[in-house]
Structures are given as structure tokens and as C-alpha cells.
């Protein structure tokens, strides 16, 4: 059996962060959290995460900047932009910053998409 997927969740809104963490843990993942971009960057470069889920509008260091830095590290985590920003130009910006997926907050469809992508990542982990 594969180990639990290690996820870093970077979200500045306390209630959202805690609720989302509980959901990810319910789905079976090991989750660490950060409340701002700088804290998330520090955790990510000093830890080994399979996936990093980033809000884009973060204090201290913008989520796009965090994603760009993390897209250059090795081993490279799978990068999710999980944001209210959902215009085509927002999706283009996350793609250019090195994100693997852009998921718009605020719908069950977005959570289904996230769950599906995380499940696919989990399936690729070595036993």
C-alpha cells in the first residue's frame, strides 16, 4: 500500500484553511498548513511534499511567486492554484508561473476536480 500523499495547503483565511485541511485529511492525505506565502515557501523548500495547494492572493509573498519558486525545486511538487481568480488571463498567469492545475474556488465541481487530481497523484506513488 502506498504512503499517504503529503500535501501542503497555503491559505490565509483561518476558517477556510482549517475546514479545507479537515476535508483533505478525510480524503486520506497527510496535510500541513501555512497562513501566508512566506511560511508556505519556507515549509515547502524544507519539506518533501507531493502536492502544494496555493491560494494566489496571499500576504507576505504572493501565491504566484511561491508557485514559480516551487516549480524550480527538486523534487518538484505538483502545484495547484486554488483561487477565486478564474478568468482566462488568471489561468494563463498560473500556467506561466509553473502551476500544474488551476482550480476555481466556490463550487462542488472544483472540489471534485481537486479530489480526482489528488487521487491520480496518490495512485502514482510507489508502494
Strands (E), the chain: 6-10, 30-34, 51-54, 78-83, 101-104
Q: Residue 100: which pLDDT band, with cuts at 50, 70 and 90?
A: very high
Sorted by where each starts, the structural domains of the chain and their CATH numbers stand as 6-120 (3.40.50.2300)
70-80 pLDDT per residue, tens: 999 888 899 99
DSSP 8-state code for residue 2 = P
**Average pLDDT value for residue range 14-38:** 95
Query: What is d(CA 16, CA 80) in angstroms, rounded to the nearest whole number?
Result: 16
60: left (phi over 0), alpha (psi -120 to 50) or beta: left
106 torsion bin: left (phi>0), alpha (psi -120 to 50), beta (else): left
C-alpha cell at 118: 489528488
Amino acid at each position: 500500500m502506498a504512503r499517504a500523499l503529503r500535501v501542503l495547503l497555503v491559505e490565509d483565511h483561518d476558517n477556510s484553511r482549517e475546514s479545507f485541511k479537515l476535508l483533505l485529511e478525510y480524503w486520506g492525505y497527510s496535510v500541513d498548513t501555512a497562513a501566508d506565502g512566506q511560511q508556505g515557501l519556507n515549509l515547502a523548500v524544507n519539506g518533501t511534499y507531493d502536492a502544494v495547494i496555493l491560494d494566489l492572493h496571499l500576504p507576505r509573498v504572493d501565491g504566484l511567486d511561491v508557485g514559480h519558486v516551487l516549480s524550480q525545486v527538486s523534487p518538484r511538487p505538483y502545484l495547484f492554484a486554488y483561487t477565486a481568480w478564474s478568468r482566462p488571463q488568471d489561468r494563463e498567469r498560473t500556467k506561466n508561473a509553473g502551476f500544474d492545475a488551476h482550480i476555481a474556488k466556490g463550487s462542488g465541481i472544483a472540489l471534485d476536480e481537486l479530489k480526482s487530481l489528488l487521487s491520480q497523484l496518490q495512485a502514482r506513488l510507489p508502494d
